[in-house]
Amino acid sequence: MELSVYKIDGTESGKKVVLDEKVFGVQPNDHVIYLDVLNYLAAQRQGTAKTKDRSEVAYSTKKLGRQKGGGGARHGSLKAGIFVGGGNVFGPKPRDYSFKLNKKVKQLARLSALSYKAAEGKIVLVEPFAMDAPKTKEFKNILSNIKAGDRKVLFVLPENSNNIFLSSRNLPEVQVITVDEINTYAIMNAHSLVLVDGVQDILAARVK
């Protein structure tokens, strides 16, 4: 697939880039995409949910009544889960929700996601640029000029640029990341993908 590289004013720079088939032209695998997205979301969970069981509730342990002959069920203390204020039965405990996923599976998932965007024509290439200061309006104009769309946009930089990041921070539909931070969830969650020229070469060089 051949794409034109745009300038930040929306005009074509004259440079054409052929996207590497081993990155943007693989046969997408939906199952590995599902696994990688699940792995990413699981890793975001704090896992700090906690309730007190009957051993942790601050109540008297005095037996409520005699064992037999009371006409009802036997009870040992007010800490039982059937009483108001008693301990929670089978409540959540702090835990780690993350799980291991093989590197090759994660790589195939990313390549599948990138290939989907390429097949849908949702990738825009823009030549490298710098911003002297954080300017949200200026950055928004750049997105408009290159026709990145007004829905979720994933803007990928070859290296960190603090001014570009700060310029996008107040735009809820735009996420700016570096090529080192790119992941399957971010790609699939975005409606369009903006790559600064050079990012595609870095991605191709990392495919084994």
CATH code for position 172: 3.40.1370.10
Kindly report, residue by residue over 189-198, the tens digit of the pLDDT.
Answer: 999 999 999 9
Same domain, yes or no, for 31 and 66? no
Residue 24 falls in which region: left (phi positive, over 0), alpha (psi -120 to 50) or beta: alpha
- How wide is the angle at C-alpha 105 spanned by C-alphas 103 and 106, nearest 5°? 65
Domain of residue 165 covers 2-46+100-205
How far from 20 is each of 48, 93, 109, CA to CA, in Å? Answer: 43, 47, 16
The residues that bridge with 123 in the sheet, in sequence order, are: 193
Same domain, yes or no, for 69 and 134? no
Kindly report, residue by residue over 11-67, the tens digit of the pLDDT.
Answer: 888 889 899 999 999 999 999 999 999 999 999 999 999 999 999 999 888 898 899
Same domain, yes or no, for 115 and 19? yes
Which residues are within 8 A (CB) of 78 and not within 5 positions of it... i.e. 6 or more apart? 59, 60, 64, 85, 86
Kindly report, residue by residue over 113-170, the tens digit of the pLDDT.
Answer: 999 999 999 999 999 999 999 999 999 999 999 988 778 999 999 999 999 999 999 9
CA quadruple 101, 102, 105, 111: dihedral, nearest 10 = 100
Contact 50, 92 (CB under 8 A): yes
Contact 182, 106 (CB under 8 A): no
- How wide is the angle at C-alpha 155 spanned by C-alphas 14 and 43, nearest 5°? 150
pLDDT band at 1 (very low <50, low <70, confident <90, very high): confident
Same domain, yes or no, for 186 and 87? no
Tally of domains within the chain: 2
